[in-house]
Structure 1
Amino acid sequence: MASIPTHIDAAAQQTAAITTGSLLVSLPPLPDGSFDTMLASLAAAFPTETVLVATPAAAPNGTTHATPGNIHLVPYTPAATSTTNWVLTAADYLNTFKGAGETQASACLLLGAECQSLTPEAIRALAASVTGSNADLAVARYNLGPREGLFNSAILYPLTRALFCVRSRYPLAIDLGLSLRMAERLAAASQKFISTNQSDALLWPCIEAACANYAIAEVDVGSRVLPQPAAADLNTLLAQIGSSLFAEVDARAAFWQRARGAQPSLSVDLSAALTESPDIAPMLDAFHLAYANLHEIWSLVLPPNSLLGLKRLSVTPANSFNMPDGLWARIVYDFALAYRLRTINRGHLLGALTPLYLAWVASHLVLTGNGTPPEKHIQDLASAFEADKPYLVSRWRWPDRFNP
């Protein structure tokens, strides 16, 4: 494991001397009011324990805060900085491990933007998973609306579950509990990005933990305000996340081709259904336009059976629009393979995936609008990804086997 350079200042040394072995909570920059709310939540979550709170500034904006007696603020100068605040990045993992080293903390909580909306109970549960059990990684599970987090539901969750045997519902969660060895592993993985000035690069904690055979716990944190990306362009967001995930799949191929079984997941409510019909016309318009203009590109990526499935979808009425789970799984798998092979420019490749994703969303909304519980469909989709994993393994090893 690569060592992580740290710089311990006098204030950190003094804090460490008093609170060695305590929990370190790493916070993002927060506005004054939110910072005070967060400190109060931490005090309520750990009323009898000493908690170290690492923040880029002990008193944001130079103001004075009433800090509860068991909360010790640890100001730090980030080893790397990120301009992305809606998801955790390489800079966040490196800074968290740096703080753990400076304070000699026994475990870490890494919380994302808008973390003041987490309840004290949720915060304590995340910490307990890495301090009171054998888990090295605790991942938050959020209670989102049926139309929220659909990119996670369509690609991130089913792909991570099928390939890496990790059932965490939000594999890119922004609230995590970390053992020291998990924090060190993530920091080491971050360094390769930091060294090339990619502090905003995404890491995949669940995949890191799975590949290291570390135990993963999933913690239901209930409702939470999730930060929104500054860029509202779907193409940009899908390219950023999809590129990172497909690159991780490529880098970890030796692991996932032999991975078997899956960790247990939290029980989920499969009964809740939507009661109103969504407007899917813009999504279908995007898909139909792409079918007319991108068919040639899709034919470079997808085998004939998938193209036939898309042809059928292109003439399906809106009220019965339904993309089969198996078709969507194969589309994602074939795009992951095309990313590895550089079949076409990777930017163009991920752009060509966007209208297909919108078609999946439209299909999901039609299905749930007709009475299928949203979570049931997501779990069925994940099962389809699992069942079709041999298809990806075979194509990964022999890419030309299914070509006409």
Structure 2
Amino acid sequence: MSTTAAPQPSTSAPQATAPALLLALPPLDAEQLRAAFSHLRPVLAGLPVLVAYLGEEVPADLPFSAVAVTPAAAIPSARWIHTAAEYLNAYKLMNEYQAPRCLMLGSESWTLAPQNLRTMVTAVMENETDLVLPRYTTSPHDALVNNTILAPVTRALFSIKVHTPQPIDLAFSMRMAERLASTAQRFTAANQNDALLWPVGEAATAGFNTQEVAMDTRSFPVPEVTDLTQLLTLVAGSLFSDVETRATYWQRARTQATVVGSEPLVFSAEPPRPDVTTMIETFRIGYKNLSEIWSLVLPPNSLLGLKKLSILEEQSFFMPDALWVRIVYDFLLAWRLRTINRAHLLGALAPLYLAWVAGYILGGRKEAHIEALAAAFDSDKPYLVSRWRWPDRFNP
């Protein structure tokens, strides 16, 4: 893996004024780049924009008054999620060219409605918001790792109600970029360029203002990681590490931070039902094969709940939210205590996650259920705080 290198500018047009915005794009081929620029033309019309992307050629006729910048050593970053190296490079460019704000977009951003992107730009520029996050419109079966672990844990522990704590499209101020870069530098210095950052945690601990923007449907890039266990290890594991790092912050009682534009999720039309039978069978196999590992992590009441769940017929299969919340919190504690190998730990979480998802799909009430789950994480936070401070009080 290459190390982070200072970006090298390649001027495609004279820069008459200092850029008002850095536009940071993911690795794109020539056709994708043309599609992105065409899509962004109405979004950024009239703004002096600095365009940065990972590529080898700079187009001769950019549709903006801009300087295009191609980093000298292209970082082999994931195309579906932003990495520490990308945030660090964005800050270096903002600092070098004195661009006070950044719009960072993920792959396939041209499937976003231009008016949504324009709202993000307006929020960060005119409202002087430090962090602007999307609230995507998805089907009720999409983004469930986010909706069942990432978002509710972030909301409960950092007292900030956001729906996408690991965004692929976001906008941020210079001081937010500086804070992200400071964290990113610790990863890149350890040659962990592809580590994940959690902008919401950074904003919350710094007391920066945050805004959510409602987004229409989007075509999401397919993760390079397709196995559920690997996905949980990467994303949930990264969140658990961030929670561990910020423990002194979230253990103190706090009022909910104000997030401009925060509203309940609204799902698009429901697609055909996924194969819940396979999910339930995976859980039952896990119950037979992983009980010993689960007993190292979960208290007796949770194990009893799983035993009852394992014998339910499909038509009545449902994991109570309170049980799922305790499972996540106890796995988070086991992550901190290194009760077992961390990769094995999150592998053991996968069938439990599928059990909750199966009950959610069978149960209906999709938007209301997601909101109720988030509230359950909020209510049970004292359990996590108590166990975090005095882990020896419970020894399964």
What TM-score do you get using the length of structure 1 for normalisation? 0.91
Q: Residue 51 of structure 2 contacts residue 68 of structure 2 at CA under 8 Å; is this kept in 1?
A: yes
Q: 2:307 aligns with which of 308, 311, 328?
A: 311
Could you tell me how far apart the structure 2 residues matched to 1:273 and 1:34 are?
28
Q: How many angstroms does 1:267 deviate by?
A: 2.5
Counterpart code for 2:288: A
- Measured in 2, the distance between the counterparts of 1:401 and 1:15 equals 66
Could you tell me which residue of structure 1 aligns to residue 381 of structure 2? 389
Distance 2:9 2:197 in 1: 31
Shift of 1:37: 2.0
1:43 and 2:35 matched:
no
**Which shows bigger deviation, 386-395 or 38-47?**
38-47
Q: CA deviation at 1:272?
A: 7.1
Uncovered stretches (5+) of structure 2, i.e. residues with no partner: none
SS at match of 2:248: helix
Report the Cα offset of residue 102 of structure 1: 2.3
Unaligned runs of 5+ in 1: none
In structure 1, how many angstroms separate the alpha carbons of the residues matched to 2:123 and 2:308? 47
The CA distance in 2 between the partners of 1:57 and 1:289, in whole Å, is 46
Matched residue type, 2:372: D
Equivalent in the alignment of 2:220: 226
Counterpart-to-counterpart distance in 1, 2:351 and 2:291:
11
Number of corresponding residues: 391
Asked if structure 1 preserves the Cα contact closer than 8 Å seen for 2:26 and 2:53, the reply is yes
Distance 1:269-1:356 versus aligned 2 partners, 3 A rule? closer
Instruction: Quote the residue 2:210 is aligned against.
Output: 216
1:380 counterpart = 2:372: yes
2:51 is aligned to 53
Give the whole-Å Cα distance in 2 for the aligned partners of 1:268 and 1:332.
22
- CA distance change for structure 1 residues 316 and 42 in 2, over 3 Å: closer, same or farther? same
The alignment status of 1:67 with 2:62, answered yes or no, reads yes
Instruction: Name the CA shift for 1:79/1:393 in 2 (closer, same or farther; >3 Å).
Output: farther
Q: Which residue of 1 aligns with 2:108?
A: 114
Counterpart among 224, 232, 239 of residue 238 in structure 1: 232
Asked whether the 8 Å contact 1:157–1:171 carries over to 2, the reply is: yes
Change (3 A) 1:273 1:384: farther
> Deviations for 1:14-36, whole angstroms, at most 9, x for unmatched residues?
966x2314111111121222211
1:240-389 equivalent positions in 2, closer than 5 A: 240-262=234-256, 263-264=258-259, 266-268=262-264, 274=270, 277-368=273-364, 372=365, 374-389=366-381
Question: Which residue of the other structure, out of 185, 188, 198, is the alignment partner of 1:194?
Answer: 188
Tell me the SS of whatever aligns to 1:340.
helix
1:133-181 alpha-carbon deviations (Å, 9 max, x no partner): 1420011111111111010011001100000112110110111101001
Shift of 1:75: 1.9
Identical-pair percentage: 47
In 2: Cα distance, 1:56 partner to 1:202 partner: 18
Distance 2:146 2:189 in 1: 29
Q: TM-score, normalised by structure 2?
A: 0.93
Residue matched to 1:83: 77
Residues of 1 paired with 2:121 and 2:129: CA distance? 10
In structure 2, C-alpha distance between the alignment counterparts of 1:363 and 1:136, rounded to whole Å: 38
Structure 1 270/175 Cα, relative in aligned 2: closer, same or farther at 3 Å?
A: closer
Q: Distance in 2 between matches of 1:133 and 1:348?
A: 45
Conserved? CA contact 2:296–2:339, under 8 Å = yes
Structure 1 equivalent of residue 390 of structure 2: 398
Letter in 2 for 1:130: V
Q: CA RMSD in A?
A: 2.3
Alignment of 1:135-214 (within 5 A): 135-214=129-208
Query: How far does residue 275 in structure 1 lie from its aligned partner after superposition?
Result: 7.9
